[in-house]
A = this chain, B = another copy of it.
Amino acid sequence: MTTRERRRRVTIADVARHAGVSTTAVSKVLRNAYGVSAAMRDRVKAAIDELGYRPHASARAMRGRTYTIGVLLPDLRNPFFPEILDGLYEQLDGTGYQVIIVLGGRDAKAETRAIDALVDRQVDGMLMVAPRVPRTRLEEVGGQLPTVVLGPHEKSALYDAVLDDDEIGAELVVRHLISLGHRRIAHIGHRENAGRRTAAMLQTIRAVTYERVMREHGLDDEIAMAMTTYSEEGGYEGARELLARSPRPTAIFAGADLAAFGALTALHEAGLAVPADVSLAGYDNTRTAALSDISLTSVDQDGGVMGGTAGRLLLERIEGRTSSVTFSVTPTLVPRRSTAPPPAETRTA
């Protein structure tokens, strides 16, 4: 009878004693397992309620499931992530699964630790949103537990993939700008310093597609990219860099709304009006983009559907599916007031 520092929690043994049954019986009731009479079930449930019993997750983890889904998020600032989580929660509602979130943080090392933390805590399934660790690491995780990767365009036999068709999304933006009459269209991208597998990363696809569409329209010479990061700071720096060129671009396609917001600041500081002087488009169709003072043209990729699908795939894997699945969402363009035909004197180009 050790005196625990804090009041001892109710255990399955307490419930069993209180109900006058075995711990096995209680365990079975908890898991809705086969082989308990209605009477037994009622007695046990009553005892659970009376004692206010809740199972110790760690003890369960030692033998079975934790009823936990782990989610890796790169950060908390990207307004696209809540959409994903909303879809996930909706899908998981009523299943008894709890979601815990860890943050990847600044570098790949921090992200590795965050993923490890989830594995070490024995989550039953893991959703990795826009991970930047090497593909081998993703497969290691996928080999150990049900895993869904959201973002990167790389399929694997070891995990499911949910992704936005970033190629279509980028095409929509660049063609939209071209159809408005722009030629000097620049791009703000995200450079991942850490890793290989860049070809599969969504930021690479957006950038490469931008280049391709430009070429397809004979705008090879107008290609201008600033590779910073998908963040406000990155967008600010990228825009400053692009605006310093001569002649300056008449349109900027930022690979993420967040970067577009930073670009907006840079444009203002440079005394340039949007869209009168420079058109601006983003990606993600965040709520801020929809604010009428911002009214940013953007690409909508339905994060709710993506998150919900990720949840469904995770549950399927937990239930035993071993084959690999890829789910692709087709994005749509949401034109707003931040994009318009280029100013007249542009013809100097």
> Which stretch of A25-33, A37-45, A51-59 is in the interface?
A51-59
Q: Which of B7, B85, B101, B143 contacts A144 (CB 8 A)?
A: B7
Q: Which of A72-86 contact B (CB under 8 A)?
A: 75-77, 79, 81-82, 85
The answer to whether A288 has its CB under 8 Å from any CB of chain B is yes
Taking the closest CB of chain B, its distance from the CB of A142, in whole angstroms, is 10
> Which stretch of A115-123, A186-194, A202-210, A239-247 is in the interface?
A115-123
Taking the closest CB of chain B, its distance from the CB of A90, in whole angstroms, is 11
The answer to whether A100 has its CB under 8 Å from any CB of chain B is yes
Q: Which of A4-60 contact B (CB under 8 A)?
A: 6-7, 54-59
Q: Which of B56, B144, B294 contacts A293 (CB 8 A)?
A: B294
Q: Which of B113, B117, B122, B232 contacts A58 (CB 8 A)?
A: B122
> Which stretch of A170-178, A261-269, A326-334, A339-347 is in the interface?
A261-269
The answer to whether A223 has its CB under 8 Å from any CB of chain B is no
B85 touches A76 (CB 8 A): yes
B101 touches A102 (CB 8 A): yes
Query: Which of A75, A77, A89, A122 has the most chain B CB atoms inside 10 A of its CB?
Result: A77
14 A-B pairs whose Cβ atoms sit less than 8 Å apart in the complex: A6-B145, A7-B144, A57-B58, A58-B58, A58-B59, A66-B121, A76-B82, A77-B82, A79-B79, A101-B101, A121-B121, A261-B288, A261-B291, A264-B293
A121 touches B57 (CB 8 A): yes
Cα–Cα distance between A82 and B103 once the two chains are bound (Å): 11
The answer to whether A99 has its CB under 8 Å from any CB of chain B is yes
Known: A6-B143, A100-B100. A264 touches B292 (CB 8 A): yes
Which partner residue on chain B sits nearest A9 by CB separation? Answer: B144
Which partner residue on chain B sits nearest A81 by CB separation? Answer: B76
